[in-house]
Structures are given as structure tokens and as C-alpha cells.
Structure 1
Amino acid sequence: MIKKLQKAFSERFNKEPIVFGAPGRVNLIGEHTDYNNGFVLPGAVDKKIYVAIAPNNTNTVNVFANQFNESYSFSLDITEPHKGWMNYLLGVTYHIQQQGKKIGGVDLIIDGDIPVGAGMSSSAALCSAYGFALNELFQCGLSRMDLAFIGQKTEHTFVGLKCGIMDQFASLHGKKGHVMKLDCRSLEYEYIPFDFPGYKIVLVNSMVSHSLASSEYNVRRQQCEEGISILKKHYPDISSLRDVEPAQLLQHKEELPPIVFDRCSYVVYEKERLLAGCEALKKNDLTAFGKYMFATHEGLSKKYSVSCTELDFLAECAEHITGVAGARMMGGGFGGCTINIVQTEAVETFTQKIQSAFHGLFKITPEVYVTQIEDGAKVLDMQTA
């Protein structure tokens, strides 16, 4: 991929680029908790967005997106969104300059092997790769956490999705053999060992586009906020569902609209599962961790209502295949992938069984991606190709 990118770049722009890469991410447990100031447990994966880039000594950014076979140019004086994928680049360019950093025009080619729409956060990886590249190229001195916030602000202001910080954080802070327990309120994080050489992380794509995810995401956020405003009357110190204990929620169940109770209930119990899951991983207990993953899927499907028939089928199917430690839907929901922790020697059988069962019911073969936990955004050279 890197050699191909370098060749394409020199042919298009007649100079040599530097190549940067930022990974997609998986989140093992802790879904829809980030915007409730809770905890998440992501890891960076071995699938990336690549950016080949070089300064052009102008005031213009010239982009070629290999995956879409599209060119686009914009001025550094950009202040508002346009339409389409380039908003990620426009937003990052704008927000880096808003930090008082001086950057110049660049030529770049973007490519990647993160499956789009599979819930591995290709958009966050794009913001991370491009932001990281500008930061290195123009020596802006921004930290990885600064760049994560710039990616998040881009989603909020240029893309219109009120996402949490997890995706950008994971893409920039990933560490091989570890997942990251991130406190979304304080932004303190801890690397938790996830070093199981006998297992792979396998994503199974439901082949359902999660087009509902953006609008419903904002609805879930409002429902959680409604729950907090009611509970706050009794517990003035709580500021988010992160602060709510299961007993407190149950005590005031009658005051909450049933749908709001279900949403809050999922988030409150997901925090308990995540903290217990981290303890299990520290003890190298993948069996216990897997059980929490299955329980998370049940909560996302029944209480948070962000699953779909295809995802429920895949999670249930996985539970009955030998060699699967845990499985659940991953990401915003309404489509995308399930994440499965599968014994390496069982991956082939798992893939055959789940594809065959899914095709039997839905008449479509789901794509399967085998991944592992890798490092976050970095400069790449030809030796790593």
C-alpha cells in the first residue's frame, strides 16, 4: 500500500511524499457510554487510512482520494463546511489554524484499507491521519490528545455528528497488545493488556448500512439527558449517567418514561460491565470478559434499541460456534459489524459457519475482517509496507 501510494503521488504531483497512517479502531466493550461521560475500552487495529503528503508552498490544499477516484482543492482560508467526505479535511485544516498554528498548503493522496461503514471509524482515522501529518509537517507542537479534540470538533462543526472522543482518541493513542480504558470525563486513560496470541478479533459485517445511526445517535443522547434531568432532582451532585448507581436508577424507575428508563438502565449497567471486564483482562480471563460482551449485546439490542435483526442474528449465531470467547454488535448501531473474539485456529470454521448461516437467512454473504490490536497514528516508511 505504501509503495503504491508513493508511486501514485510522484506521478500526480511530481515530487516525493511522506506517508502517514492512522488506524481504525474496535471497541471491545463500553458502547454509547462516551457521550454519557463514562468509560470505553477501544483498541487500534491493523487497518488504516494512509495519507501521502508534501508541502506545495501555496495557500491551497490539493487532495486526491484514491478510494473514490476524486480530486478536490480548497483554500486554507476555509471557514465553513461543503458537501461530502472532504468536510473531514476542511474541518481539521480550520481547527488546527483556530489553535493559532501556522500551516501551509499541501498536496495529498488518501487511501486506506478500513472498510467504510463497518463501524471501525474510518472517518476518525482520516481526521487523525491528516491532522497528525499536518502537525508533523509544519511542527505545530500539538499533542495526540489535542489532535483527538480537533478531530472531534471537526465531526461536531463540519460534519454535524455530536460524537464522543473515543474514536479519535483510539486512532491516535493505540498501543500494540493493549486496549485503552478511557475515562471520557477526565480523559485519563490506562493501557489494559490484551495480549492473547491464540485469538483474533474478527468483525462480521451485517451488510446493513448504518444510515440511521447519525440521527438516532442524537435522539439517544437526548433521552439520556432527559433521564439525568429527572434524577438530578433527587441527586443534585450527578452530572451524567456515569455518576448514577443501579440502585439509584431503580429507586426512581416510576418517574422516568419507560423508554428513558431503558436507555439509562443500559448505560448504567454498561459501566459496571466495563469495569468488571477490565479486571477480567488484567487476570487474563478471556472467558469472563467474553460473557460481558454477550451481555452488552443484549443491552444494546433490548434496552438501547440500536441493533437490528441482522446484528442480533450474528451475535446469537457466534455464541453457538466453538472457539468464540465473546461477541456483540459494535459501533453506533442499526447496521455495521459485530465484533467477535475467536480462537485463531477456529477463525476459518467460524467464518464458514457464520457466512453460511447468514446467507441462508438473508440471501447475502457477510464480509469478514480478521484484525489484531496495533499501534496508533504514526509516520510510515517503505520498510513497514
Structure 2
Amino acid sequence: MCIADKVNERFMALYHTTPLLILSPGRVNIIGEHTDYNDGFVLPAAIDKKIALAIAPSGSGRCTVHAAALEDSFSFDCREEVRPAEGWKNYILGVVHHLQQRGYRIDGFNAVFDGDIPIGSGLSSSAAVEGAFSFGLTQVFGLDAERFELALIGQQAEHTFVGVNCGIMDQFANLHGRKNQLIRLDCRDLSYVYVPFNFPGYKIVLCNTMVHHSLASSAYNERRRQCEEGVKVLRDHYPEVKSLRDVTPAMLEEHKTALDSTVYRRCRYIVEETERVVAACACLEKDDLLGLGRLMDATHDGLSGDYEVSCPELDYLVSLARPRSEVIGSRMMGGGFGGCTINIVEADAVKDFSDHITDAYTRQYGKRPDIYVTTIEEGTHAVSYPPAP
């Protein structure tokens, strides 16, 4: 039974009515990590790992949400002020709060959700939950909110209810994904273009360290603070600089001594990574997959060395992948400190690659890594509607 069928069945058992079903994907990011909150470029895509949400009006102001995977539920009254709670509940509460703050009328609802996005893997399960609920609420209550606005609402929920000062990439990719397309998103003005990823002889393979991270950890917010510190210093010399997006490698090097050494290395990674995303799109336009792979490798080296958001397990997985002839590129993906590596692998060699990674990693760390062969799919969408009354 697929996840959508499972949540539909659980919903009807709990609430005895037919829900609207929403599928909300996780995402991969081919290149461009930590550039989003620095006004840079990213290159994400929605994937076939997803959150499934069943939702319907409750007929009152009462809202009840059941997380099937956790066997946990909570209720609140949306006619009263919505306040932060604890844990996973804040992803939903934050979305409801910010929809209301923008003037949208939310009545009571019942919901059940579940998913196959591994938590803490760097595939952005949190944005998938936010996208599922924001889109689902617009559908069941007839709200005239565009996907662009829903992405901003998800980001606001992270900032104010979850406590993660994240960029916009995850929520944007979740809501704007298209099958077999990457999204080159300009995080400064949120303009975007679709970039085809048309390489049928290759697969995107994710290797999960099984090390769970938390983007709410102080390390993520500390990196952002360090980037802002670098911008502040550089702005004294270049008043036009509003973010690291405006800084060239030459500008950074000229004023290296004015920066704390750690802040300098953080800024160097971001400045170089922004340029790598532009170069990666040029490679894709020329069908230069090898060039893309070299850029992915450089991204990992920067994340591990200058930005220091990798971990021994991620570095080990990359070290296993890079020497293999079937691997075009390999790097850690996501916020860091755990989660997955993303690898572009020849399709015919995926099994050999997976077996090699699994055997070596299990011997090294005593735990078996999960491996996902992903496809690029549509963004958040409804798969069925309740019958008209």
C-alpha cells in the first residue's frame, strides 16, 4: 500500500469522512549549499521521496493533526492565537499562524500525514511538511495564495516557530518542482528558470550516513552570523555590498586581513560556491556532465574544509565514491553534520556502486547506510479531491 493510501485509510478511520490528498516532495540540491541565505544561486529539484497529507475541514474551529509515523496527535483552536509548541508541531502551527497573519481565513481542520523522507537526511522533510499543509489548507478553504507566497510562509514558519534561520531554497523547490527539471533559483529576487536534467544513462544516488542532524543546532545559525559579519566588514570598503552575492573572489582576497580567519574561510566558500552554481548551469546547457561532477567535488571540499559543516561519515562516503569510474561527482548535501551524500552514477553500475558503499561503510562504522536511487518529480500537488457535497 502506498503512503497516500495509508494516510487516506487512517484519516477515514479517525475522522469518518473523505479527505483531500496532497503529495509533497523532498528535494535534492545538485549544487549550491548555504548560498541561499547569502542571496546566491541554488540548483535544487523535487524528488520521489515525499510527505503524504490527508486533510479536510472539521466543521468547527478545532484543528486536529495526527502524525502517523510517530503515532502522535495534537489539537488546537485556530480561532485563538496560535503559539509555538514543541517539536514537529511547530511546522504546522507556524504555517497556520503565518497564513492567518497574511489575512487568510483558516477554519478548523482534521489531518493525517506520513512520509518516506528520512528525517535528518538532508532531503528537507521539514519543508515537505510545510508545503503539504500550506498547499492543503489553500485547497480545502479556497484560499487565493500563490505557490511563491506559500514558500515564503514555510520559510517564516521555520524562522519564527521552529527557530531555524533558513533560506528559501527548500520551500521553493518543494512547491515549484517539475519532473526531470532542475530549478536555478536566484535567492536574491527569487527569479528562476528550469534547467533540464536529461541524462538517461545516469542516476542520482543518495547515500545516507544514518547520522541525524538538526538544522536548529547552533552551528547552522552560527555560519549565517559569520557570513553576515564578513559582509559588514566588506561593506566598509564596498558600500554596494548587501550580501556575499555581491562579493567577488578578488574583493575578498584584497581585504582578507581585515577579516577574522574563520570568517574569511566561511566567506571564501560562499563566494566560490555562488560562482560554481553558474558554472554548473553552463555545463548542463552543454551536456557536460563531467564538468558538473568536478564542480560537485569542489563543493564538497569547500563544505568540509572552509565551511566545516561536514562530518567524518560524510567525508568517508565521498572518499569511497570518488575513485570509482562510474561516479561522475560526489559531495555531501544539505545543511551538514550528517545526512546524505549525493552522487551521479552510471545507471548500469548503480548496484555495484551501492554494494561497494554498503560493505565498506558498514565495516567502518558498524551500521548499514540507506541508499536511495531517486527520480526528479513534480512539486507539491493534490492527487484527489473529496466528492462534491
The interval holding the TM-score normalised by the smaller chain is over 0.9
- SS of 1:179's partner is strand
For residues 60 and 198 of structure 1, what CA distance do their matches in structure 2 show? 51
Shift of 1:355: 1.0
Shift of 1:212: 6.9
- Residue in structure 1 matched with residue 319 of structure 2 by the alignment: 316
Give the aligned CA root-mean-square deviation in angstroms: 1.2
Does the aligned pair in 1 maintain the 2:119–2:212 contact within 8 Å? no
Query: Of residues 13, 16, 20 in structure 1, which corresponds to 2:15?
Result: 13
Shift of 1:183: 0.6
Cα deviation digits, residues 256-291 of structure 1 (max 9, x gap): 111111000000000111100000011111111011
Does the aligned pair in 2 maintain the 1:213–1:333 contact within 8 Å? no
For residues 3 and 20 of structure 1, what CA distance do their matches in structure 2 show? 11
1:94 is the counterpart of 2:87: no
* Counterpart residue identity of residue 311, structure 2: C
Query: Of residues 65, 68, 71 in structure 2, which corresponds to 1:69?
Result: 71
Shift of 1:3: 2.1
For residues 257 and 107 of structure 1, what CA distance do their matches in structure 2 show? 51
- Residue in structure 2 matched with residue 199 of structure 1 by the alignment: 202
For residues 33 and 73 of structure 1, what CA distance do their matches in structure 2 show? 37
- SS of 1:376's partner is coil
Shift of 1:153: 0.4
1:165-244 pair list within 5 angstroms:
165-211=168-214, 214-244=217-247
* Counterpart residue identity of residue 38, structure 1: G
* Counterpart residue identity of residue 326, structure 1: G
TM-score (norm 1): 0.97
For residues 360 and 381 of structure 1, what CA distance do their matches in structure 2 show? 45
- Residue in structure 2 matched with residue 53 of structure 1 by the alignment: 55
1:371 is the counterpart of 2:374: yes
Cα deviation digits, residues 172-227 of structure 1 (max 9, x gap): 00011111011111110010111222222111111112147631111111111111
For residues 301 and 104 of structure 2, what CA distance do their matches in structure 1 show? 46
Does the aligned pair in 2 maintain the 1:179–1:192 contact within 8 Å? yes
- SS of 2:158's partner is helix
* Counterpart residue identity of residue 67, structure 1: A
Shift of 1:71: 1.4
- Residue in structure 2 matched with residue 4 of structure 1 by the alignment: 6
Does the aligned pair in 2 maintain the 1:2–1:381 contact within 8 Å? no
Does the aligned pair in 2 maintain the 1:23–1:46 contact within 8 Å? yes
Does the aligned pair in 2 maintain the 1:322–1:346 contact within 8 Å? no
For residues 208 and 247 of structure 1, what CA distance do their matches in structure 2 show? 37
For residues 288 and 121 of structure 2, what CA distance do their matches in structure 1 show? 28
Query: Of residues 21, 25, 36 in structure 1, which corresponds to 2:27?
Result: 25
Shift of 1:2: 2.0
- SS of 1:57's partner is coil
- Residue in structure 2 matched with residue 255 of structure 1 by the alignment: 258
Q: Structure 2 vs 1, CA of residues 136 and 211 (structure 1 numbering), >3 Å: closer, same or farther?
A: closer
| Worse-superposed segment, 78-87 or 130-139 | 78-87
TM-score (norm 2): 0.96
Aligned residues: 382
- Where in structure 2 are there 5+ consecutive unaligned residues? none
| Worse-superposed segment, 152-161 or 222-231 | 222-231
- Residue in structure 1 matched with residue 287 of structure 2 by the alignment: 284
* Counterpart residue identity of residue 29, structure 1: I
Cα deviation digits, residues 57-77 of structure 1 (max 9, x gap): 100111111110111111102
- SS of 1:102's partner is coil
1:354 is the counterpart of 2:357: yes
- SS of 2:133's partner is helix
Does the aligned pair in 1 maintain the 2:47–2:374 contact within 8 Å? yes
* Counterpart residue identity of residue 98, structure 1: Q
* Counterpart residue identity of residue 149, structure 1: L
- Residue in structure 2 matched with residue 104 of structure 1 by the alignment: 107
Q: Structure 2 vs 1, CA of residues 89 and 78 (structure 1 numbering), >3 Å: closer, same or farther?
A: farther
